[in-house]
Amino acid sequence: IVLTGGDDRLWKTWGFPDGNILLTGEGHTDWLSGCCFRPSGTQLVTSSGDTTVRIWDLSRRGCILTLRGHSRAVRACFWHSCGDFVASASMDGTSKIWDVNSERCRYTLRGHKESVNSIEFLPFSSTALTCSADKTLSLWDVRTVSRL
């Protein structure tokens, strides 16, 4: 199964080798910039130009949570390997770590001078990597909200 998102504001799961569309999700009001499966495979996260991050439940075929807090388009999203946290990177120059269980932003990472274009957690750690339009990469300890 492959997951995609695009300018049509939809995410789609595709089966291979046939390339059939298995599921389609709609709800964002602007382009999708990122999408990622939860490690358990039961949910996915999407990021969008509409400034939101959304959690989708595949069995319910719908959005179960909309995370708001960025002031500009969200460029990327990523699940932590434990499945309890989602990271987002935004054109507002910040990244956020969202606690999916409490449905709130746990930490905001500040320090880049321009848009943050990508974010990923290092596997099985509390370290996140961000990449910015300011031509820098940063490693963060998300427990202390500090650069490494």
pLDDT in tens, the chain (148 residues): 999 999 999 999 999 889 999 999 999 999 999 999 999 989 999 999 999 999 999 988 799 999 999 999 999 999 999 999 999 999 999 999 999 999 999 999 999 999 999 999 999 999 999 999 999 999 999 988 888 7
Structural domains in the chain plus CATH codes = 2-147 (2.130.10.10)
Q: For 1-147, list the strands marked E by DSSP.
A: 2-5, 10-15, 20-26, 32-37, 43-48, 52-57, 62-68, 74-79, 85-90, 94-99, 104-110, 116-121, 127-132, 137-141, 146-147
Q: Whole-angstrom distance between the N-terminal and C-terminal Cα of the chain?
A: 35
